[in-house]
A = this chain, B = another copy of it.
Amino acid sequence: MLAFDILEYQKRLTKTKQQMAESGIEVLLVTDPANMNYISGYDAWSFYVHQMLIIIIDEPQPIWIGRYQDANGAKITTWIYNENIIPFPDYYVQSSIYHPMDFIAEILKQIGQGNRNIGVEMDNYYFTAKAYERLKYGLPNATFKNADLLVNYVRIIKSEQEIEYMKQAAEIADQAMYKAVESVRVGNRECDTAAAIYHQMISGTDDYGGDYPAIVPLLLSGDNTGAPHLTWSERKYKEGESVVIELAGCYKRYHVPVARTVSIGKPSIQLEKIAPIVVEGLNAVLDAVKPGVTCGELERYWYNCLKKYGIEKEARLGYSVGLGYPPDWGEHTASIRAEDSTVLQPNMTFHLIPALWFDDYGIEISESFRVTKNGGETFTKIPRDLIVQDPFPFQEKGGIIS
C-alpha cells in the first residue's frame, strides 16, 4: 500500500536527520499528519487523537505511537517494522485523567531518550499547548527545541513521483471545476454545486481514485463573494450573481488547488473591469517564475501590475502546496509575499491565488504551478479567465435545470 518506493521514504528520513543534526536535535517528535505521512507513509484519519512519529537521530527506523485501534492501520500503511509500532490503551483517549503524552514521555524514558535534545513542532495544529506541558512534565531532563516546519522544509522540493501524483490531482481538479461550473445555474442550490464537486473529486478518474482534500470546496455566491472562507449553504443562485469556487484535486494526499469565478449571465460592471486585471497580474507572476527568483520578487510583479490600475491590496499571493491533511493544504513554508526571500528551485510547487476581496464582492482566479528547470509550468488546464455561464441552458429545449 506504500505510495512511494521505500528508498524514497528513506531518503526523506535521511534529509530530515541532516536537518535535525544542523539544529542540534537528537529526537524529533513529528505530530503534523502530513509530516508523519511523508516520512513513514502513515495515512489514516486518526489525528483527532494524539499520535506521533519519533525520529531518533542514531536509530535507523522511526517509531509510531498512537491509539491501540490504529496500530493495525500503521502496520498496513507504513514501512516501519511492527516492533516500532507502539499503541497506547484506549483509556488515554480524550480523558480528563490520562493524557497520551504521559504514555509517550514514559516510552521515551524507557528507551533512553529522556535526557536528549528533543524537537517538537511548536505551531502544529496537532501539538497542543497541553501536549507540550505534559511532555515537559514527563521529561524533566530533556531539552526541548522548536522544530516547527523542519520536515515541512524538507518537503518543499518535490520528487518526480510526487510531481506525477500532483499531475493526477490536477486532472481531478480540472474535472471537478468543470462539474462545478456546469452546476452553477439559476435555481440550483450552492449545496448541489458542492455535491457535484465532491462526487467528481472523490471518484476521481477511471484510472485513479480521488482522495479527500485538506480543505472543503469553498463556494461563495451573491453578497458573500467578499468573504473568502465561507462554505456552501442552501441558497439558490440568481441571474446576474457571481460565484467564487476554490477547490483542489487530491491524489494520494497530494493537492492541486484551483479557483475560478463564474458569472451567471452578464457579469457586473465591477467584475468585467477587475477580471482582466487579475488575469494580467497572474500572467505577469507566472511569466516571471524560474529558478533563482525569490518569492518576494514574484509578489512585486503582481503589486506593480495592480498599482498601474490604482489598486493596492497587501495580502499573501500564494504558498507552497503539496501533501496535506485537514485543516490546510498549504505547507506553511514559503509564501509568495513581499517579505519572503525563499529562492525558487526546480520542483517547488505553489498555489498562486492573488484574490481580491472587497466589502461586497470578490474575485478569485488562481493557478497551481511547479518551478521547472528554466521557468514554470501550471498544473490545471481550465481557461484562466472569468467564466460567464448561461443561466438557463436548458430553457429553449424545454428541459429542466438538472
Residues of B within 8 A of A44 (CB): 227, 229-231
Q: Are A122 and B133 in contact (CB under 8 A)?
A: yes
Residues of B within 8 A of A124 (CB): 128
Given the complex of chains A and B, what is the CA–CA distance between A127 and B326 in angstroms? Answer: 15
**Binary flags per residue of A200-243, CB closer than 8 Å to B gives 1, else 0:** 11111000111110011010000110111111111000000000
- Give the contacts of A290-310 with B (CB-CB under 8 A): none
Given the complex of chains A and B, what is the CA–CA distance between A231 and B232 in angstroms? Answer: 24
Residues of B within 8 A of A209 (CB): 189-192, 232-234
Given the complex of chains A and B, what is the CA–CA distance between A45 and B230 in angstroms? Answer: 6
Given the complex of chains A and B, what is the CA–CA distance between A191 and B252 in angstroms? Answer: 12
Binds B, one of A55-63, A88-96, A258-266: A88-96
CB distance from A265 to the nearest CB of B (A): 23
**Binary flags per residue of A25-42, CB closer than 8 Å to B gives 1, else 0:** 000000000000000000
A199 within 8 A of B: yes
> Is the interface on chain A under 10, 10 to 19, 20 to 34, or 35 or more residues?
35 or more
Residues of B within 8 A of A210 (CB): 191, 195
CB distance from A183 to the nearest CB of B (A): 10
Given the complex of chains A and B, what is the CA–CA distance between A72 and B208 in angstroms? Answer: 38
- Give the contacts of A323-353 with B (CB-CB under 8 A): 326-328, 330, 332, 335, 337, 339
Q: Are B128 and A77 in contact (CB under 8 A)?
A: no
Residues of B within 8 A of A93 (CB): 316, 335
CB distance from A102 to the nearest CB of B (A): 13
Q: Are A122 and B126 in contact (CB under 8 A)?
A: no
Residues of B within 8 A of A68 (CB): 315
Q: How many copies does the complex hold?
A: 2
A373 within 8 A of B: no
Q: Are A202 and B208 in contact (CB under 8 A)?
A: no
From the candidates B73, B194, B315, B319, name the one contacting A69 in the complex (CB within 8 A): B315
> Given the known A-B contacts A198-B199, A327-B326, are A228 and B90 also in contact in the complex, defined by CB atoms under 8 Å?
no
**Binary flags per residue of A103-142, CB closer than 8 Å to B gives 1, else 0:** 0000000000000000010111111111111000000000
A392 within 8 A of B: no
- Of listed A69, A97, A146, A210, residue having the most chain B CB within 10 A: A69
* 5 closest A-B pairs by CB: A191-B209, A129-B132, A195-B203, A73-B227, A209-B234
Q: Beyond the given A72-B357, A76-B224, please list 18 additional residue pairs across the A-B interface where CB-CB is below 8 A.
A: A43-B230, A44-B229, A45-B327, A46-B229, A69-B228, A69-B355, A72-B226, A75-B227, A76-B227, A76-B230, A90-B314, A94-B316, A96-B149, A122-B129, A189-B203, A191-B202, A195-B199, A198-B198
